[in-house]
A and B are shown apart, each in its own frame.
Chain A
């Protein structure tokens, strides 16, 4: 009698443990997806804002064609390709946009253009959102991977085929939020 109770208790404990560790993994995997979709939304938004910026700047600085073309070229990469490719495209655009914003210094009309200033603010906030979401994504992925590799959850993970996720690598100088002042 006592023995059956003990056996049942042990089975129950194991079942509860398996359930919670499985649910934990599912939760983390969803968080990783959610964090990525956050980045996805912002990259798309950046993609949509760029033509407006290019059109605004074109009128003032026709001969800066090269800079503008660089932005437009990288732009399509923002919505296509693997996560790392899209992040790389975003870094490339970040550099090109910086030179466009710097360019406005030598075009007083452009610098005073309401539309341009508005776009500049919108692109800056979108870029910051990409950076912050990326930070959050990496943190979530790291938490998930730690859970995945730790004993005894790792047994559960291999049983149900939970895969490690890759961290997004960020060039060293991108670690800090761009120092933008108006």
Chain B
């Protein structure tokens, strides 16, 4: 059941990434077709933007999240228990010991960053540390360590970057349409049906990209929950921790929309109620708990 779920999740992720890449290239094509009358130039431009944008995002992503969240690195003496728990689980996951951070915030939450295990870092809020016992803390730490081990952070960073590129390219495209830029004069050679399709693509692609990104994010949460149990062999701890976290009504002060998908539970509790399931970064807590109970 457990290994089955991890395999399923990995397959879905590959599918989503492929979908993403196709979407990026198709938008590139549509813009090239609309304004340059050819099939290649737009794709080439998009690829160039990607080649610059993605490495930069990957390089800066880790430290950015830590800076934005207002977290401080701690040593063993500051919190021996937390340090011990993280050490135990990185042993179990066979990854180097990540750096440990604490965020001074009463809302219980946690997140992990680091695009590869050697650069991993885990952060916990003081609210979480106050409320959870050792067993529950192990569950949460295992979830975060699993994110690092499964390269989720790299995947999420790439999908955030890809959404950025699609939005950027599509924006340029729609501006050119509005203000009549490009080589409009050559357009009369185009097939009108393909042209309408291309225009629709430029308008709808950013929206579609958002949906895919959120779907990737939700999927990764299930996978991290499953891997956490693979590490601790104890679903109880994570279940109890998730219950405690979801019962707390507070928002995480320093969380941003851009980093919301990194947290173990959606950091804006008040907003969550108004959002529909399609727009959420995390799967509903009840269904996560249910999946854990079935393991």
CB-defined contacts of A17 to chain B, threshold 8 Å: none
Known: A129-B91, A177-B135. 10 other contacts (CB 8 A): A38-B91, A122-B80, A129-B87, A129-B88, A133-B91, A176-B233, A177-B234, A179-B135, A179-B236, A181-B134
Contacts A177-B234, A181-B133: A132 and B80 contacting too (C-beta < 8 A)?
A: no
Chain A contributes a number of interface residues (CB within 8 A of B) equal to 19
In the complex formed, the residue of A with least CB distance to B136 is: A181
Q: Does B204 contact A (CB under 8 A)?
A: no
Tell me which of A121, A122, A124, A136 contacts B92 (CB under 8 A): A136
| Complex interface: chain A residues within 8 A of B232 (CB) | 177
**0/1 interface trace, chain B 82-114, chain A, CB 8 Å (1 if under):** 001101110110100000000000000000000
CB of A128 within 8 A of CB of B88, answer yes
B138 on the interface (CB 8 Å rule)? yes
27 chain-A/chain-B pairs, Cβ below 8 angstroms: A38-B91, A118-B80, A121-B81, A121-B84, A122-B80, A124-B134, A125-B81, A125-B84, A125-B88, A128-B88, A129-B87, A129-B91, A132-B231, A133-B91, A133-B92, A136-B94, A176-B233, A177-B138, A177-B232, A177-B233, A177-B234, A179-B234, A179-B236, A180-B134, A181-B133, A181-B135, A182-B133
B89 proximity list for chain A (CB < 8 A): 132
The yes or no answer to A104 lying at the interface (CB within 8 A) is no
CB distance from B118 to the nearest CB of A (A): 17
User: Could you say which of B80, B87, B138, B236 contacts A121, with CB atoms under 8 Å apart?
Assistant: B80
Complex Cα–Cα for A121 and B77 (A): 12
Q: Is the CB of A180 within 8 A of B88?
A: no
